[in-house]
Structure 1
């Protein structure tokens, strides 16, 4: 997530420079052919270009709206995880009690630390690269990785789980496919054992289990966004429409400016190039922005900051345990925080 007021042109132009090169090529070639070789058929009426532009604007707007909705839903889900985690921490502190205060503190730490393990496993799963994601495959995105680091790509889940789980439990979790799911299953088994020994009353046990169910719900919503891409048919048609428009734009401008040569001279035809580049860049960038927004967990600069959110939850719950040695909050790198 970018936390600055806006992307500055010094960053935005290099990110989209390939689109500018593309439009320069698409506009210079037909303009030069029309001007030097007098190929008249390159001048086409503006009406078909305008009609295609209208359709492209519609489908681009639709894509950007839907990809933004995916990103905003992901942020809402992690907002719910924050609330559920805090509520779970309070319940663990207040519902798990016996005559032995030392034992209670140990149980509180064990269960809350297991929750930290769940947060860790979930964010590692969400940062796994899928075939349809583009943060690593598109050059303009991979270049931007020089401005920041993705924590889940810099460390291993094995190391991150060590402070939170026992050795046996950690080895078991690492042997499973969906680690986050199995950590909550382990959490439920631990609560069941405490209920059977009367450390947790039946009513409190049911309430705590409902909190685990809520965490499962939020995890499932994250997995739905992660594992189901923006529909490829809509993504493809947006790409095709945008490229077709960029191809026809210079020809339409040639048709319009060729009508003005008698009044303003033949050199006016060269205005086709800057206008085509500007207008084509707008549509191509709209398509690129939609593409960079559709996968809110992939590790891009526009991602939901799940690492920061998980760390903030950890700090809150450690304070509930009355711990003083708290981990530092995640700091932005070049105004980007993940």
Structure 2
């Protein structure tokens, strides 16, 4: 997530700059070709281009709205996870049955909090696994897959210290960590273990039935939240919307220089050279709009415009550890180059 108010020119060029190259090449090719081969042979009316452009803009606008909805829903779900985590830590620490406990309840309560911290980091790791339709998985699609993988690796290197700290922390018992590797969905299994531990508190008379129900309800909220995130992750944005918007923009840009030449030719033969800069600017605007929607539709890729899951998980970790009175509290994640991941 970019946390700077204004995006720098360098960031804009890093995001869309390489598209300027092929746009410049296409506009130059058509303009030079028309100039050498007699541009009048390829001239056609400017009128169809505004009609096509208007239709494409409406289409991309709809796609941008829907893509942003996916991004914003992902952020809201993580906010719900954050709030539910705080509630869970408070209930685990303070809920008492008023009877003599038959078990070492303090250790079990501590394990529940620690396991939940392990759970949120595990959930983040699972959501970061690239799906086949995401930008990171593309192999030969204008080189975007290679570019995005390299960019994500660069982002992760910026947060290498924080990621190393997380990897070193052992919030789960060694035996439990080993057993966890046998499960496909490890995050779900961690929630299953939480339910088992809450049942142990009830069986040991550390909490009463009403308190058990409320704790189990908190765990259910995490199941619900995870399921909604997995729905976003595992359900691609309809391919028709993504594919046809790209095709429509390609058609528009393909025709753009011919229409511009017909207009600028009224200024004289020298005027057709304005086709190159004007065509680049117009084409870049349409390509940038398409790219914004394309990257917003996948909020769990780990790129700079995605949901900052690492910083959210660290915030949850800090809140829960402080709630149960732990002394060794990690520092919050701070932006690196105005980006949070």
- For 1:297, the equivalent position in structure 2 comes to 300
Residue 176 in 1 paired to residue 183 in 2?
yes
Instruction: Please show how residues 159-238 of structure 1 align to structure 2 within 5 Å.
Output: 160=167, 163-238=170-245
Q: Which residue of 2 aligns with 1:133?
A: 134
Match of 2:70 in 1: 70
In the TM superposition, 1:23-34 aligns within 5 A as 23-34=23-34
- Deviation sequence 1:124-182 (CA, Å, 0-9, x none): 10111111111464144345346521769x969xx848611112211121210000101
Q: Any residues of structure 2 matched to 1:33-112 within 5 Å, and which?
A: 33-96=33-96, 99=100, 103-112=104-113
Deviations along 1:265-289, whole A, 9 cap, x unmatched?
3201111111100000000111111
Shift in alpha-carbon separation, 1:198–1:102, aligned structure 2, 3 A: closer
Distance 1:8 1:155, change over 3 A: closer
Q: Is the 8 A contact 2:108 2:197 kept in 1?
A: no
Q: Which runs of 4+ in 1 moved over 2 A?
A: 96-105, 139-147, 159-162
Aligned residue in 2 for 1:16: 16
**CA shift for structure 1 position 101:** 12
Secondary structure, counterpart of 1:175 in structure 2:
coil
- What is the DSSP-based 3-state SS (H/G/I as helix, E as strand, rest coil) of the residue aligned with 1:334? coil
Map residues 231-270 of structure 1 onto 2, 5 A cutoff.
231-258=238-265, 260-261=266-267, 265-270=268-273
Tell me the C-alpha RMSD between the 2 structures: 2.4
Shift of residue 197, structure 1, vs aligned partner: 2.2
Name the CA shift for 1:40/1:231 in 2 (closer, same or farther; >3 Å). Answer: same
* Equivalence for 2:279: 276
TM-score by length of 2: 0.91
Change (3 A) 1:249 1:45: same
Structure 2 distance, partners of 1:140, 1:245, is: 25
Structure 1 residues 250-300: Cα deviation after superposition (integer angstroms, max 9, x where no partner): 111111122x14xxx320111111110000000011111111211111110
Provide the C-alpha distance between the structure 2 equivalents of 1:14 and 1:187, rounded to a whole number of angstroms.
44
How much has 1:72 moved relative to structure 2? Answer: 0.5
* Structure 1: gaps spanning 5 or more residues: none
**Which one of 320, 325, 329 corresponds to residue 322 of structure 1?**
325
Larger displacement relative to structure 2 (28-37 or 201-210): 28-37
Structure 2 portions without partners, runs of 5+: 139-143
Counterpart Cα distance in 1 of 2:168 and 2:215: 23
Count of aligned pairs = 333
Residue pair 2:102, 2:206 contacting (<8 A) in 1 also: no
When residues 146 and 130 of structure 1 are mapped into structure 2, their CA distance, relative to the original with a 3 A threshold, is: closer
Q: Which residue of 2 aligns with 1:287?
A: 290
CA offsets 1:15-54 (integer angstroms, 9 cap, x no match): 3122111211221111112222204232111122111111
